[in-house]
Amino acid sequence: MSGKQISVLLISPDEEIYSAIEGSLAEQENCQFTGRKDTVSGVNGSAISLTALNDVVLFDVEEDSDKMLETAQSICDARMPNAIIIALAPEDLPLEKARQLKKLGVDDVLPRTAINEEIVPQVDAIRTRRQAQLPAVWGGHATLGKVIAVAKSRGGVGSSLVAANMANELQQKEGFFKKKAANEVAVVDLDFQFGSIAALMDVEESDAMWRMAMDESIPDTAFLDQAMAKAPCGVDVLAAPSRYGPLSAIKAEQIDAILDSLRRSHDYVVIDLPRALVEWITPVLAQADRLYLVTDVAVPSVRSARKLIDFYHSENPALDIQLVASLEKKPLFPAAHHRAATKLLEKDFSYWVPKDERTVRESVDRGVPLQDVSNRAPATRAIKKLADDTRASLPPRVNS
Ligand SMILES: Nc1ncnc2c1ncn2[C@@H]1O[C@H](COP(=O)(O)OP(=O)(O)OP(=O)(O)O)[C@@H](O)[C@H]1O
Ligand SMILES: [Mg+2]
């Protein structure tokens, strides 16, 4: 088979895995196999330099759990862009540990014992896809999370409220006191100058994005780990900086790298967009699986919404844009101004988030999700429905 050259690295002391993978790759053209029959710590430092040279890296996790995470972290940090990292773990590895590994950037965790059922076919599927240069979906499993952008037609229309509360609901918390989240969710506040997500979600503002802009560095997993804060509701937040910086300081490549990285570690990446049409929102529009445009139905807002839709579509014609009418209850019978709005927008409103001063004020003042103030309030229910529909049409990663 012709195609792109691909390199696979295996670090495992397990004789059986070693010979199975070496054997299955030996017959493949354009495929280079490198193996170390040892543990990561056994190969003593060379694991990291080898990782940086390979498209696919399989490594055996250490039994000692602190060491396991440390090793995984150093391997993920050393990866080439787009390299796929697979951890081979004992069959009884607790789910929590598997999640932690994925959070660090490991793409998949496979049971060491399922050599012929899982490991070999998975490596083979990656190799075939990579050589054909197909997108990063392999073995029928989606390995990347979904990017959902939230935009607004005017200031103060309620888009950050929608973004923050949708993010909370996307976690799909289950169990006693709804403490356990089924999905990993991140929110990135790209309203660089006027961001309000930190306050809404009760995390500290952070200067990380400001430093990134000033250093002109490309953010990696280590940067994100340090820059993101976990909100009390469980969502990981990349807050806007607390000091002012010029909008033009951020570069499209930096935003692209943030999204690439977060899609690997989270099921949903919610982006609160600024209203400004800056160059670096292009990667968001290119990577977004959906964009919610929040507007009210007043004429000036609807006109801006129309212009934004045209701009977004000129950047990405395939972008799925859905309209959210904020501060309005869904009318039983559309009034003349509703009909005029729909006509101008050439699109119906998909969701209506009613004005709900009391619940929203308490949620904003306390820095807790609407759900924690009242799960029956109209605004809570409206945003929950939006999140439930999002999850149904854009499912989370498989095996996350
Ligand atoms: N459904 C609602 N009912 C009542 N008040 C709301 C509602 N949605 C938002 N608000 C209030 O309106 C104000 C603006 O909301 P929010 O910050 O979410 O809007 P935004 O579109 O993100 O604004 P900005 O332009 O500042 O980014 C806040 O004070 C918020 O509490
Ligand atoms: Mg906002």
Cα separation, 265 vs 157, in Å, equals 30
| Cβ–ligand 1 contact at 324 (below 6 Å) | no
Task: Determine how β-strand 268-272 pairs with β-strand 146-152.
Answer: parallel
Strand 180-181 to strand 173-174: parallel, antiparallel, or no bridges (unpaired)?
Answer: antiparallel
> 203-238 burial, b for 16+ CB within 10 Å, e for fewer?
bebbbbbbebbeeeeebbbebbbebbbebebbbbbb
User: Is the shortest distance between the CB of 380 and ligand 1 below 6 Å?
Assistant: no
**Furthest-apart CA atoms within the chain: distance in Å:** 74
Structural tokens at position 133:
């240069």
Question: Is residue 159 in contact with ligand 1, taking CB distance under 6 Å?
Answer: yes
CA of 15 to the centre of ligand 2 (A): 55
Atom nearest to 379 CA in ligand 1: 1
Distance CA 189, CA 163 (A): 9
3-state helix, strand, coil in the chain (%, to 5): 45, 20, 40
Which residue segments constitute the domains of the chain, with CATH numbers given? 6-142 (3.40.50.2300), 146-393 (3.40.50.300)
pLDDT at 61 over 70: yes
Confidence of residue 141 (pLDDT cuts 50, 70, 90): very low
Q: In the predicted model, what is the mean pLDDT of residues 103-110?
A: 83
Query: Is residue 351 scored above 90 in pLDDT?
Result: yes
- For residue 23, the tally of other CB atoms under 10 A from its CB is 11
Average pLDDT, integer, range 198-216: 92
Least confident of 39-43, 157-161, 335-339: 39-43
Mean pLDDT of 335-339: 94
Of the listed ranges 52-56, 333-337, 396-400, the least confidently predicted one is: 396-400
Containing 59, the helix (H) or strand (E) segment is: strand 56-60
Query: Model's pTM, two decimal places?
Result: 0.70
Q: Is 327 in the pocket of ligand 1 (CB under 6 A)?
A: yes
Q: Which residue has the higher pLDDT, 332 or 5?
A: 332
Q: Which of 161, 326, 368 to mutate to test the pocket of ligand 1 (most atoms within 8 A of CB)?
A: 161
Tell me if 355 CB under 6 Å of ligand 1. yes
On average, the pLDDT of the chain sits at 89
Rounded distance between C-alpha atoms, residue 327 and residue 294, angstroms: 10
